Chain A
Amino acid sequence: MNGIDIQRRGFLKTSLGVAAVAIAPGILLFDLAHGKPEAASSKVRWGMLIDTAQCKTGCNDCVTACNKENGLSGGTGATDSQWIRKIELKDTGSGRELSLPMMCQHCEHPPCVDVCPTTASFKRADGIVLVDKHRCIGCRYCMMACPYKARSFVHEPLHDQNPDVPRGKGTVESCTLCVHRVDQGMQPACAEACPNKAILFGDLNDPESEIAKKVRSVASVQVRADLRLNPGIRYQGL
C-alpha cells in the first residue's frame, strides 16, 4: 500500500511538471490560431435587400436551395425545420398580391439573444445572428421571442449532415445567412438560386457596395420596423 502511495506521489509531481510544460506551447499555439484567419469584423454589416416585385408567386427556388445547402428535409409540418419560407400576401382592399421570402431577419437588437439563458443565441460582430449549438439547451425561449417566427427546433435525430452545416436534435436553429459560405466570400444559397435576382446580398456598411447604393436610392422597409430591432433584411415594394 505504502509503495503505491509513494509511486502515486511521484507520479503526481512529475505530471504537474509535464502539465506546466504542456501548457506553455499550448498557449503559443492558441495565439497562432487567433492570428492568420481574422475574426468577423464589426465594420461589416451583412444584410439583404429583397425586391418583392421580382419575387414570383409560386416560385420556391430559394427555399429549395436553402434546404439543399443546409440539409433540411423540406417538410413543412409542425416539427420540420424551416429556415426560409415563401409568404403570399394579399391586400384585401386593393386586391394587390405579393410574394416574398421570410427568414431570420438578422436584427441589430435581436430579442432571441436577449432571452437566451445560456448565451447560445448570439450576434456575430458582422451582424449575423446565430445559435451556438454547443451551448444551446433547447429551451426554445428564442423561438417564443422572435417576432418573425424564424427559428425551428430539431425534434428528431439527424444523420448525414452537410459537413459545413452541423445540425442536431435538441437544439434550435435558423437561417445562418449561410455563414459558412459568406466566410468563404460566397453568397447565401437563396440569393444565388433566385432566378430573378430578387435577393441582393451584401455589406450594408460599405457605402460602395451594391446593396448600400440600392438601399440609399430606392424605398425599402424592414418588417415590423415598429419594434426597432433594426433587421439586416430589408424589403422593397412591400
Chain B
Amino acid sequence: MPKPDIGKGGQCVEDTQWMRKNHMHLLKHQRDEVIRKGARDEKLSLKNCIECHASTRDDSVIARDDSFCVACHRYEAVKIDCFECHSGKRKSAWLQRNTK
C-alpha cells in the first residue's frame, strides 16, 4: 500500500475516507466554479489543499515518489495532469523564492 507524505495534514473538508474516494469530484466541480463563474471558495481550492498537504520537507505535492498526490496515483496508475499547469508547490514557499 502507498504511504503518502501527508505534509501538515489535518481535516477541513470531509473525513479522510470520504476524501480518498471523492476528492476528484470536488476538484472538478470547483475548477468550473472558480474559473468560469469567479466564485472562489477558499476551502475547496486546489491551492488550499496544497498549502496543508505539501510535504514539509520540499513544499511539494508532486516532487517525490511518496509525495501526497504521487504516492496513490502512481500505485493506482491514474495519471493526473493538474500539475502541467498548476503549481504543485505551497504558495508560501513559492512567494519566498520569488519575492524581489
Q: Is the CB of A134 within 8 A of B37?
A: no
Q: Mark B62-88, 1 if CB is under 8 A from A, else 0.
A: 000000000000000000000011110
State which of A48-56, A91-99, A119-127 sits at the interface with chain B: A119-127
Check B58 for interface membership: any CB of A closer than 8 A: no
Q: Per a CB cutoff under 8 Å, which of A39, A133, A169 touches B37? A: A39
Check A117 for interface membership: any CB of B closer than 8 A: no
State the CA gap A170–B86 with chains docked (Å). Answer: 14
A164 with B40, Cβ < 8 A, contacts A130-B35, A133-B85, A169-B84 known: no
A183 with B91, Cβ < 8 A, contacts A133-B85, A167-B85 known: no
B40 to chain A, nearest CB (A): 5
Closest to A44 in B: B38
Q: What residues of B have a CB within 8 angstroms of the CB of A174 in the complex?
A: none
Q: Per a CB cutoff under 8 Å, which of B22, B41, B87 touches A160? A: B87
Interface residues of A in 35-90 (CB under 8 A from B): 36-40
Closest to A176 in B: B35
Q: Is the CB of B89 within 8 A of A160?
A: yes
Q: Is the CB of A38 within 8 A of B39?
A: yes
Check A7 for interface membership: any CB of B closer than 8 A: no
Q: Is the CB of A183 within 8 A of B38?
A: yes
A182 to chain B, nearest CB (A): 9
Q: Is the CB of B35 within 8 A of A134?
A: yes
Check B57 for interface membership: any CB of A closer than 8 A: no
State the CA gap A185–B26 with chains docked (Å). Answer: 26
Q: What residues of B have a CB within 8 angstroms of the CB of A166 in the complex?
A: 85-87
Check B8 for interface membership: any CB of A closer than 8 A: no
Indicate the size class of the contact surface on chain B.
20 to 34
Most buried by B among A29, A38, A130, A157: A29
Q: Per a CB cutoff under 8 Å, which of A30, A34, A125 touches B38? A: A125
Q: Is the CB of B33 within 8 A of A163?
A: no
Q: Is the CB of B29 within 8 A of A33?
A: yes
Q: Mark B35-55, 1 if CB is under 8 A from A, else 0.
A: 111111110100100100000
Q: Per a CB cutoff under 8 Å, which of A36, A125, A132 touches B41? A: A36
Closest to B21 in A: A22
Closest to A171 in B: B85
State the CA gap A168–B82 with chains docked (Å). Answer: 10
Check A178 for interface membership: any CB of B closer than 8 A: no
A160 with B25, Cβ < 8 A, contacts A34-B33, A37-B41, A40-B37 known: no
Check A17 for interface membership: any CB of B closer than 8 A: no
Most buried by B among A124, A133, A134, A157: A134
B93 to chain A, nearest CB (A): 9
Closest to B89 in A: A163
Q: List 21 A-B contacts (CB under 8 A).
A: A22-B21, A33-B29, A33-B33, A33-B39, A33-B41, A37-B39, A38-B39, A39-B33, A40-B38, A122-B36, A125-B37, A125-B38, A130-B35, A161-B85, A162-B98, A163-B90, A167-B85, A169-B84, A179-B38, A183-B38, A183-B40
4 closest Cβ pairs, A-B complex: A40-B38, A168-B85, A39-B37, A166-B85
